[in-house]
Amino acid sequence: MRPKVVLVGGIYHADADKLLRAKAEVLALDRPAPAEIAAALADAHGAIVRYPHRIDAAALAGAAKLAIVASSGRGTDSIDVAACTAHGVAVVNNPGLGTIPVSEHAIAMMLSLSRRLVLSGRVIRAGGAWNHRTGLDVRDVNGRTIGIVGLGLIGSEMARKCIAAFGMKVLAYDPHVPAAKAEALGATMLSDLGELLDRSDVVSVHAELNEGSCGMIGEAQLRRMQRHAFLINTARGKVVQQKALERALAEGWIAGAALDVFEEEPLAEPSPLWELDGLILTPHVAGLSGDALRELARSAVTQVLQTLAGERPRNLVNPAAWNAAMARLGHPA
């Protein structure tokens, strides 16, 4: 009998979908309500969940056969890992595959803000642009200071690119990373987030979402930034307090911002963010280049199939659940 795998929110690439369907019965849920997710998991052996859909304790309550849940990307904030562990369900993610596309997206946002590309397009469409070219406040990034919040794989790649391409001075804040790692990159690790905000021309957020980082950039932090500075967030929306950022832009505490992620996704339509000048918005696509989509989907599917076959996957998030997951599938631990 073939195992059943539920795709919660679909899957990123057709090649991976084909690979999964060759080995398992697949149920794809496009935009499911929580009750639909719970019903689908009731007789499923595995699941792949795409943010912002969630697999939580309520969804797991009736999932007697479920042994493996995979994130569609690196982050696991769409999965209640503690509830999965308590239920004996293994959780896997796909780290490293967003490093290049997310860092490139953040660089593009930084250049767009600094070169005033959105404003320039608006001005030229309004007519008479050649009379206003010197009033756009276009800036160079070369030699400026960038503050990187979160020096993991993506933050480190961002630092490397900014130093190599633009000769930028890089400050970093990450209480989970030793200063030696920053020094090896040519960056300076700071122990105080406020000091980074004080000194940076650009602040780029690459922190994981956890209890320590949730809401870590709010009104007090935004007021510490320089008035000419830009804020970029390609990490998770809840790291930055959205209402505080709206005020910061509306009242000119900072010069601009670029967001690929939001406190609640999908973003409400219409959103107050739409009305703000100096703000670039993209719909959580920083990590979704064609190459990354293919590899993320293949990684998720491969690890689900490995688990269902009794083989330990390479990116097991909760090892404490492994024995129970294998017992559920009838495999030796």
Q: At 288, is the secondary structure helix, strand, or coil?
A: coil
Q: Is 236 among the residues known to form the active site?
A: yes
List the beta strands (DSSP E) in the chain. Answer: 4-8, 25-29, 46-49, 68-71, 90-92, 145-149, 169-173, 188-189, 202-205, 230-233, 256-259, 279-281
Measured CA to CA in angstroms, residue 262 lies from 139, 204, 239 at distances of 27, 15, 9
What span, in angstroms and rounded, lies between the C-alpha atoms of 109 and 123?
A: 19
What span, in angstroms and rounded, lies between the C-alpha atoms of 124 and 139?
A: 18
Beta carbons of 67 and 308 less than 8 angstroms apart: yes
Q: Is 294 among the residues known to form the active site?
A: no
Q: Is 331 among the residues known to form the active site?
A: no
Selecting among 13, 50, 236, 328, the annotated active-site residue is: 236
Closest listed residue to residue 231, CA positions, set 255, 251, 262, 215:
255
What span, in angstroms and rounded, lies between the C-alpha atoms of 304 and 321?
A: 15
Q: What are the φ and ψ backbone dihedral angles of 58, each rounded to 5 degrees?
A: -65, -40
Closest listed residue to residue 301, CA positions, set 88, 81, 65, 3:
3
Q: Which residues contact 29 (CB under 8 A, 6 or more apart)?
A: 6, 7, 8, 9, 10, 36, 37, 40
Selecting among 263, 265, 294, 331, the annotated active-site residue is: 265
Beta carbons of 315 and 303 less than 8 angstroms apart: yes
Selecting among 284, 295, 298, 328, the annotated active-site residue is: 284
Give, to the nearest 10 degrees, the angle between helix 322-329 and helix 290-308.
Answer: 70
What span, in angstroms and rounded, lies between the C-alpha atoms of 214 and 237?
A: 9
Q: Which residues contact 90 (CB under 8 A, 6 or more apart)?
A: 67, 68, 69, 84, 307, 313, 316, 317, 318, 321, 322, 325
Work out the end-to-end distance of the chain between its first and last CA atoms, rounded to an integer number of angstroms: 21
Active site residues: 236, 265, 284
